[in-house]
Amino acid sequence: MNKKKLLADALCHSGLVGLALRLLPRFRGALRILAYHRILDIEDEDSYPFDPELVSASTREFRWQMAWLKAHFSPMSFSAFMGMLERGEAVPSNAVIVTFDDGFEDNYSNAYPILRDLEMPATIFLSTGYIGGADTYWFETVANCIYRLKTDRLRLPMLNLELDVSDSVASRRQLAEDVVEAMKVVPEKTRIAALEHLLGQHPNAGELTRNPLSRPMSWEQVREMSGNGMEFGSHTVSHPVLSRVEAGQLEFELHESRKTIEEKTGQPADVIAYPVGGQTEYSDAVMSVARNAGYRMGVSYIPGINPLDALREYELRRIHVERYTSRGEFQAALLLPKVFG
């Protein structure tokens, strides 16, 4: 257990959480945005063929997190937040927005019932090319391919990779992570070629891309959620790294995804979350296209909070929630984000 986790758990059990909550209104106003991917209960991690690191919380922990959040913070949607800014209203010092990236079906089956029961708003960023289809996201396909490889050597010449493949599940998890990271830093055409090469090493590639354990939502599910307090934003069409695509594809990914969400839900899609979202995964050019496409805000995956007196609307930061985040860490990240975020 690392020192930061120990300190956060000590804070949780010491009673200092209550003091921090009382002092919260005195802190400089800032918007906190929580970043989730999947809410899922994995019974046997070794037999789970996809990336367990995409699971942000179990259903039990997610319910606890949302209940605690509602009791001590002011959860809101992006539309409510932007409306307050436009009207010149004071944004609560404890304002928080719950977000999900990608659009996995468990957002509907596991997260949505909890959010609905607690009357909690949330924003889900959709990669629209996957929604309503059978294929899972490309990075999950990589994880499943490598989990099931029947060779002791993996060669991906377009990525300049030649790697040993062990029978160890932990080793294969790390190998999949390494391959995905290598795919994120090459041009989009190279990434696609590498994925096709990887799929070509399996006789039944379709079984690797279509699995109910890692399925996107349907548009019917999206529409139901949209009519019951959930908000949807763009995560592009095909989930590319936007700084690696050509200008024409960049325009398509941002414009088409927004148009599709608005047509399917009848609601505005005013916010985009940049896929991967680190410092090198989006750029001034990406933010300019986002602005011109009609987005009013853009969300990165860079850790942090967003001071209201210096708001950077097209590169908002988020607090990451991971499956190993303890309750103490969750509380500490929200109360003392500069230390624990």
What is the per-residue pLDDT across 275-302, written as a single tens digit (0 to 9) for each? 999 999 999 999 999 999 999 999 999 9
Q: What is the DSSP letter of 213?
A: G
Is 322 found in the same domain as 255?
A: yes
196 and 104 belong to one structural domain: no
Q: Is residue 175 within 8 Å of 146, Cβ to Cβ? A: yes
pLDDT at 171: 95
Q: Do 278 and 232 lie in a common domain?
A: yes
Domains in the chain: how many in total?
2
Continuous segment of H or E residues that includes residue 56 = strand 55-57
Q: What is the CA radius of gyration of the chain?
A: 20
CB-based contact 40:194 (threshold 8 Å): no
Q: Do 156 and 304 fall within a single domain?
A: no
Distance in angstroms (rounded) separating the CA atoms of residues 302 and 86: 25
What is the value of pTM for the model shown?
Answer: 0.93
Q: Is the pLDDT of residue 259 over 50?
A: yes
65-73: long-range pairs with CB below 8 Å, 24+: 65/321, 65/327, 65/330, 66/98, 66/114, 66/115, 66/118, 66/120, 67/118, 68/327, 68/330, 68/331, 69/34, 69/96, 69/98, 69/120, 69/334, 70/118, 70/119, 70/120, 72/21, 73/32, 73/334
| Domain final position from 209, 237, 272 | 209
On the question of pLDDT at 154 being above 60, the answer is yes
83 and 97 assigned to the same domain: yes
Q: Which two tokens stand for residue 298?
A: 């853009």
Residue 208 has pLDDT above 50, yes or no: yes
Instruction: Please tell me the total number of residues recorded for the chain in this structure.
Output: 341
pLDDT in tens, 27-62: 558 999 999 999 999 999 999 999 999 999 999 999
Residues 198 and 226 in one domain: no
Q: Which of 128, 142, 11, 22 is nearest to 72 (CA)?
A: 22
pLDDT exceeds 90 at position 1: no
In this structure, the answer to whether residues 20 and 91 fall within a common structural domain is: yes
**Burial of 283: CB neighbours in 10 Å, binned 0-12, 13-18, 19+:** middle
For residue 22, pLDDT over 80 is answered with no
Looking at residue 336, its pLDDT comes to 76
Q: Mean pLDDT throughout 244-265?
A: 98
Which residue type is seen at 153? Answer: R
Please enumerate in sequence order all residues whose Cβ is within 8 A of that of 120, keeping only pairs 6 or more positions apart, or say none: 66, 69, 70, 75, 98, 114, 229
Choose the final residue of a domain: 162, 182, 209. Answer: 209
Q: Number of helices (H) and strands (E), helices first, in the chain?
A: 15, 13
Q: Do residue 243 and residue 104 come from a single domain? A: yes
Distance CA(60)–CA(83), nearest Å, equals 33
Determine the Cα–Cα distance for residues 265 and 252; give it in Å rounded to an integer.
20
What is the tens place of the pLDDT at every residue in 115-152? 999 999 999 999 999 999 999 999 999 999 999 988 88
What average pLDDT does the chain have?
Answer: 91
Written as one letter, the residue type at 48 is Y
What is the spatial distance between Cα 321 and Cα 332, in angstroms, rounded to a whole number?
A: 12
Residue 234's domain is classified under what CATH number?
3.20.20.370
Specify the pLDDT at position 3. Answer: 57
What is the domain range of residue 97? 3-132+216-340
Tokens (6 digits) for 170 = 């932990």
pLDDT tier, 26 (very low <50, low <70, confident <90, very high otherwise):
very low
The answer to whether residues 95 and 143 belong to one domain is: no
pLDDT for 338 equals: 62
Could you tell me what percent of the chain has a pLDDT over 70?
Answer: 90
Residue 264 shares a structural domain with residue 124: yes
